[in-house]
Amino acid sequence: MANAFVGTAELLQLGDGNISDIEVSQLLEDAPLLAAMAAIEASHDTSHEWLKKTAAPSTGFRDLNDGRENVKATYTKVTQTLKLYDASFSLDLGLLKTKNGDALRRREAMDHLSAAFADMEAQLIYGTGNDSDGFAGLANETSVDKKDDAMVVDATGTTVGGATSVWAIRLGESAVSAVFGAGGEIEIGEEYQTTLSGSTTGVYDAMRTPILFWGGIQVATSNDLGRIVNLTAQAGKGLTDALISQLLAKFPAARKPNLLVMSTQSQSQLQSSRTATTANGAPAPIPTESFNIPIVATDQIVNTEALVAAA
């Protein structure tokens, strides 16, 4: 059964009547991972906290008239600091007075939101490697930032500055989710009139449309995330189903990932590694799944990553 999470699209609040007919799903086309992720409200306005189980309790058999030591489960509180994203824009009031003014405002709102969602997705993946002023992302997780980590498979590519990664993610409100603060809303506020400094002199009247949200990510446990690193364009160093199988084997049997996220280069390598089985010998189709786990290809995963080293 397909996942059915509350997503980013449901959080978007259109406060400006002039742009309330924007098709939200269209805005997420350049952010397919963000579109697929569960979206949850932060536990606090500008931060999100959850308990991560780090050790199971002790249980077992005992003899009559003899006891057992009681050992409780161990939990660690994790705090994710959210960061404010600003996609607001201004337009010269003179432009908005023209017959195409409303269309221009709507186009600008769509452009700014689309760019914001794509950038948000890049931040979810690369974290402070994408923008040091943003929140920590998947690549900042200490369980997947070294090639010899328990939840990492090393593809052994050696092209400096020419690597990429594939992510296996368990999506869900109790697993990996996008987090939105300040009431869990992405709000397009009502526009207001202001004055801005001219490009050469003086000031001019403008209309300002605020688009603001607080964002972050929750990775509930280290078993919710895995990574194949050091995939390159070198022969024999690209993505294969065998590498994906190795990665899936690192997940607990009852907590397998439900999404694979990769670049289009990795998707193409996976296609090339598969043997055509059609009657007419046609090439294997572009992969949309591996071992029944859906694949999402996104432009936000780059093919110019640094090689991931050992601890």
Per-residue model confidence as pLDDT tens digits over 69-88: 888 989 999 999 999 999 99
Mean per-residue pLDDT, 289-301: 97
Angle between helical axes of 241-248 and 264-273 (0-180°, round to 10): 110
Mean per-residue pLDDT, 190-207: 94
Comparison of pLDDT for 104 and 265, the residue scoring more: 265
Burial class (CB in 10 A: 0-12, 13-18, 19+), 108: middle
Percent of the residues in the chain that have a pLDDT greater than 70, as a whole number: 95
pLDDT score for 52? 86
pLDDT score for 278? 64
Report phi then psi at 14, rounded to 5. -95, 100
Residue 235 is which amino acid? A
Mention every residue, 6+ apart, whose C-beta is less than 8 A from residue 238. 155, 231, 232, 265, 266, 269, 270, 272, 273
pLDDT score for 277? 64
pLDDT score for 275? 79
